[in-house]
Amino acid sequence: MQVQLADELYKRAQLKASEAGYASVDEYIAEAVALHLTDDAEQEDLDHRFTPEVIAGLEQISAEMHAGKTVSMEEVDKHLAEVRQAWLKDHAG
């Protein structure tokens, strides 16, 4: 089966798929449709969110913590402010 998406919607799906670590837009869209069509009890399973890229990132953070690398509250605040500004810029309009 093939689904046609408007160009803008496809571009957004490409970005979301990439950010979430999916191998393809098709994989991302299939997962999104499957999640939308399941009942609430089935949606509690979040294993699909732990892509290889997410797991690698978590392992890197864990290794850095075990090595003694810490982050100050100022660094956390700065990072959150940057993320907030980027989100506001992306969602303005």
pLDDT at 31: 86
Q: Determine, yes or no, domain membership for 62.
A: yes
Question: How many other C-beta atoms can be found within 10 angstroms of the C-beta atom of residue 13?
Answer: 17
Average pLDDT in the chain: 85
Structure token pair of residue 67: 């090595």
How many percent of the chain have pLDDT more than 90?
Answer: 28
Residue 32 domain boundaries: 7-90
Which pTM was predicted?
0.42
Residue 56 domain-assigned? yes
User: Would residue 58 count as lying in a domain?
Assistant: yes
pLDDT of residue 41: 53
The b-or-e profile of 32-44 (16+ CB within 10 A means b, else e) is: eeeeeeeeeeeee
The tokens of 33 are what? Answer: 């449709």
Q: Is residue 49 part of a domain?
A: yes
For residue 78, is pLDDT > 60? Answer: yes
Residue 1 lies in a domain: no
Grade residue 11 by pLDDT with cuts at 50, 70 and 90. very high
pLDDT band at 22 (very low <50, low <70, confident <90, very high): confident
**Domain count of the chain?**
1
Band (pLDDT 50/70/90 cuts) for residue 40 is low
Structural domain includes residue 2: no
